[in-house]
Amino acid sequence: MSEPTEPPWTAEQVQGLAPDASSFAAARKLAGASGWSDTGHGGSPAGLWGLCKGSGSKPYQTCVDLAEPAYRCSCPSRKFPCKHALALLLRWSAGQVAATEPPQWMTEWTTSRGSRAAKKAEQATAPRTEAQERAAQRRADKRAESVAAGIAELRTWLSDQVRHGIAGLDQAGYRPFEQVAARLVDAQAPGLAAAVRRLAPVPSSGPGWEQRLLAELSLLHLLAGAAANPETLPEDLAATVGSRVGVAVPTEQVLAGEPVRDRWQVVGTRDDTEDKLTSRRVWLRGRDTGRPALVLSFAMPGQALPVDLVLGTELDADLTYYPGAAPLRALVAARHGAPRSCPAPGPAQTVAQALDEVSAALSGDPWLFQWPVLLRGVLAPGSPWHLVDPDGDALPLDPALGEPLRLAAVAGGHEITLAAEWGPAGLRPLAVYDGVEVARA
């Protein structure tokens, strides 16, 4: 026991790590089962381990590195983390795991992981050869050409919509949008393609769709115009436009940026599946700087999403932001210690402060359609529902998400801290903190 004792994670947090609902259900059952032995937690970095009786004669060795977190289990499951690791976490969460010295198999694993991490870091920092540089440049030029052609086509299509009128688009279905999106994918502008796909459901989104569609078309037009002439833009804005178009920024370049050290609080996570690709948004807010950040990750079918940032925890770490005029997306560049539980994130904003922040962010990135806010207030029923801050100012909740009854139940009409995404249609709740617990929205 070299580390100070951390309060264990809540079951809710453990659930956030589960790759799917059935894994978590299986883990919950397993956690209550009698097959566990030699469980313990402690060591440095802080870890969790145990033996679980499986169907074979030899029990499975399950271990969790709580700092990262990382998992290992000798079971054959391809789920990650597997139900044994989740069950072990649940037992820890329920206070059923005592602090002891780690067994040998646990320390071996910790050590081997440490050396692997060092090797990887070495590889990443190795400089590229001249030939590699040239090839990369060629690829970049070719791509720029292709993107430019795609953008030109998009601009023509946008103009055509307005020239001929958008009134009939609610009868046309998704097809017109899909065709344009497919062309943009071919043109290697995935960001633009995704933006066009986001338009597809708008004409069938109910009354007022014309307003929403024109707004989105006009912003796409603005983006395409900017992307066609990137050299005329300031550097930051050019980077924002690049990211919106879908130009990838190399990880090394991001990690080389100015690190921002803070106690980063994981205030919300959200998974989305689009076109078979699952994305996980992890929203962070710095306790000291008050800055928001977004750690975005993707997984193809069958791949596991990274689970190292757990809702309701905070992490002392260096973050580096992707370049842009309203920096938001970031990477964790360096960690300083294990995550701690964080049942009451802060500083919470008033509605006025949140609106100011959104407004400032929009002045940098006018295409912004999500921005994390951390508000304190009460939920007020109505259509739409609102979050009312102590000053009486309120923001609407996105009515498309339905009534936030579960949140209302947890809040009980009392003041809560709500982590949400701001969007043009309203807030999208991510998590609610009632001062003791965090509940996923």
Partner 1 sequence: MSTSIWSDLMSSALVGTDRRRLVLPSVDGPLAAVLSSLGTELDPDGLLSAAAAVTVARRAGQAAARPQRPEPAAAETTPYAPVAAQQRLAALLSGGNAELDRTTARELAGEWLRVAAGRGLLAGPAILVALLDLGSSDASVRATVRAVGGTRLGWLALQGPGRWAWAVQQEEPVQPSDWDTGRLADRVRYLGELRARDAAAGRDLLLEAWPQEKASDLAALVAACGAGLGPDDEPWLEKALDDRRAQVREAAARLLGALPGSAYRHRMADRALACVQVAARRLVATPPTECDDAMRRDGISVKPPQGVGERAHWLRHIVEHAPLDCWTAYDETPAALLGRKFDDTWGPVLRIGLVRAAVTQRHGAWAAALIHDGFGRRDMDELRELAAVMPEQDLAELIAAQLRGKVDAAVRLLDVLPQPWAAPVADAVLECLADAERRRSGWWQLLRHAEWGFDPANAPRARALHDSLPIPDQQLLARFTTMLQTRHDIHQELS
- Site residues (CB under 8 A) for partner 1? 11, 21-22, 25-26, 28-29, 32, 94, 155, 158-167, 210-211, 214-215, 217-219, 221-222, 225, 351-352, 355, 358-359, 362-363, 366, 378-382, 386, 388, 392-396, 403, 405-406, 408-410, 412-414, 424, 439
- Least distance from partner 1 to the Cβ atom of residue 180, Å: 15
In 238-269, which positions are buried (b, 16+ CB within 10 angstroms) versus exposed (e)? bbbbbbbbbbeeeeeebbebebbebbbbbbbb
Q: How far is the CB of 59 from partner 1 (least distance, A)?
A: 17
* 323 cis-preceded (ω within 30 degrees of 0): no
Q: How far is the CB of 258 from partner 1 (least distance, A)?
A: 26
Under a CB-based contact definition with an 8 Å cutoff, are residues 389 and 375 in contact? yes
DSSP letters for 325-390: SS--BEEEEEE-S--EE-SS--PPBPHHHHHHHHHHHHHH-TT---EEEEEEEEEE-SSS-EEE-T
Query: How many other CB atoms sit within 10 Å of the CB of residue 177?
Result: 21
The residue (of 186 and 437) whose beta carbon lies closer to partner 1 is: 437
Q: 92 and 8 in contact (C-beta within 8 Å)? A: yes
Pick from 222, 184, 181, 179: nearest CA to 198: 181
CB of 128 to partner 1, least distance (A): 39
Token representation of residue 208? 């007022």
CA 243, CA 28: separation in Å to the nearest integer? 41
For partner 1, the closer CB: 115 or 232:
232
**Smallest separation, CB 110 to partner 1 (Å):** 30
Nearest to 260 by CA among 183, 190, 316, 204: 316
* Amino acid letter for position 372: P
Closer residue to partner 1, CB minimum distance, 161 or 188: 161
Task: Give the count of alpha carbons within 13 A of 64, CB side only.
Answer: 30
**Token pair for 258:** 């100015």
- CB-nearer residue toward partner 1: 201 or 413: 413
Site of tokens 């006025």: 352
For partner 1, the closer of residues 67 and 89 by Cβ is: 89
- Residue 436 φ then ψ, to 5°: -115, -45
Q: Which is nearer to partner 1, 260 or 397 (CB)?
A: 397
Nearest distance from C-beta of residue 230 to partner 1, angstroms:
17
Q: Which two tokens stand for residue 62?
A: 């399950």
SS3 28: helix
Q: Which is nearer to partner 1, 29 or 128 (CB)?
A: 29
At residue 221, what are phi and psi to the nearest 5 degrees? -65, -40
Which CB atom, from 168 or from 250, has the smaller least distance to partner 1? 168
Q: Which is nearer to partner 1, 166 or 254 (CB)?
A: 166
Minimum distance of partner 1 from residue 214's CB (angstroms): 5
Contact 269, 281 (CB under 8 A): yes
CB of 407 to partner 1, least distance (A): 9
Closer of 63 and 151 to partner 1 (Cβ): 151
Shortest reach from residue 267's CB to partner 1, in Å? 18
Nearest distance, CB of residue 359 and partner 1, angstroms: 4
Q: What is the largest CA-CA distance in the chain?
A: 73
> Nearest CA to 63 among 93, 34, 35, 87?
87
If the CB atoms of residues 167 and 300 are measured against partner 1, the closer one turns out to be: 167
- State the nearest-atom distance from the C-beta of 395 to partner 1, in Å: 7
